[in-house]
Every structure is written in C-alpha cells, then in structure tokens.
C-alpha cells in the first residue's frame, strides 16, 4: 500500500505547531477530545486517550515512540485501539511529522507509511489526515478548530 504524505504551511512558529500536537489543549482540539500520553523517550509507549466506546479513557490509537526531537521531528508506530479492531496489534503503521521553519511560517510534513497489505483503515485514514491537518492549522492560527458537523 502506498504511503500517505501531506505538506501544509502554518502561519506560526515550529514551537507553536509542536505545542498543538503534543500538549493536552492542542491534542484535545485536534484529535477529537483525546490527550496524548507518553514520556516521549524513543522506545517508550504512547497512546491517545479520550472519550469513546470504552468511556472517557478509550484508547483510540497506541504505539511506540521511534524519534522525538522537540519542535522538529516526531516518528512513532501506530495501532488502532483495542476497541476498534480485534487484530489491532497486527495493524501497525508508522507516522512521521517534520516541522521546518519557512519564513514566518512552519512547513509541516506528515508521512503515514508502512501499511500492511489489506489494512482495513487505509481509505478512511487517507481521507481523515487532510481534515485533521486542516483543523490543526486553523487551531494554531486562530485558537479554534473546524466544525465538520459530525
């Protein structure tokens, strides 16, 4: 399966963009009420936890931190949460987010790759990343997210 690659420009510093993707206020806004839990050391586990089918502490996705360079680069494996797929442990992909200064803006590149053949979430993920990144850009620039009417 092909990698998913997206590049956007955010009218803010890499530090502001990074903060939105790491700190609770930003992750709650961008990732549908979820908080990112981890110590962010390479090899450590992480999980996005928030409201869902298992209550307020539903694990939506989880995996391991591969790289963590504040304000610059984060890479991690990703699995769907246990309540989404019985074979969640087998459904591993990799996500790498890179931030680069671009004048007064930040170039954000997100790559979601290493898709196992037949991954059941590929098409939905391909459609949802642009929405998530657009909402993140709006949040960083305005303090609000996009209301998609869900």
Domain range list for the chain:
4-142
Alpha helices in 64-121 (DSSP H): none
Query: Which residues touch 58 (CB under 8 Å, ≥6 apart)?
Result: 49, 50, 51, 52, 81, 83
Measured CA to CA, the distance from residue 129 to residue 24 in angstroms comes to 19
Q: Reduce the DSSP state of residue 95 to 3 states and report it.
A: strand
Q: pTM, whole model, 2 decimals?
A: 0.94
Looking at the DSSP bridge assignments, the partners of residue 68 are: 74
pLDDT at position 19, please? Answer: 97
Measured CA to CA, the distance from residue 24 to residue 17 in angstroms comes to 13
CB atoms within 10 A of CB 17: 26
Measured CA to CA, the distance from residue 14 to residue 72 in angstroms comes to 7
CB pairs under 8 A, 24+ apart, for 120-126?
120/85, 120/91, 121/80, 121/85, 121/91, 122/1, 125/4, 126/4
- Which is the CATH superfamily of the domain at 4-142? START domain (3.30.530.20)
pLDDT at position 16, please? Answer: 98
pLDDT at position 148, please? Answer: 87
pLDDT at position 28, please? Answer: 95
pLDDT at position 3, please? Answer: 98
The pLDDT profile of the chain, 150 residues, written as one tens digit per residue, is 999 999 999 999 999 999 999 999 999 999 989 999 999 999 999 999 999 988 899 999 999 999 999 999 999 999 999 999 999 999 999 999 999 999 999 999 999 999 999 999 999 999 999 999 999 999 999 999 998 887
Query: Which residues touch 131 (CB under 8 Å, ≥6 apart)?
Result: 146, 148
Tokens of 71: 């304000």
pLDDT at position 130, please? Answer: 96
């Amino acid at each position: 399966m092909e990698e998913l690659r997206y590049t956007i420009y955010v009218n803010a510093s890499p530090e502001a963009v990074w903060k939105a993707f790491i700190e609770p206020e930003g992750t709650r806004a961008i990732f549908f009420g979820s908080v990112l839990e981890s110590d962010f050391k390479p090899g450590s586990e992480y999980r996005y936890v928030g409201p869902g089918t298992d209550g307020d502490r539903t694990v939506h996705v989880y995996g391991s931190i591969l790289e963590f360079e504040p304000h610059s680069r984060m890479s991690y494996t990703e699995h769907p949460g246990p309540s989404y797929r019985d074979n969640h442990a087998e459904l591993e992909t990799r996500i790498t987010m890179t931030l680069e200064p671009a004048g007064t803006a930040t170039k954000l590149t997100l790559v979601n790759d290493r898709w196992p053949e037949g991954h059941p979430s590929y098409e939905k993920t391909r459609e949802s990343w642009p929405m998530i990144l657009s909402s993140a850009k709006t949040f960083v620039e305005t303090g609000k997210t996009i209301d998609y009417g869900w």
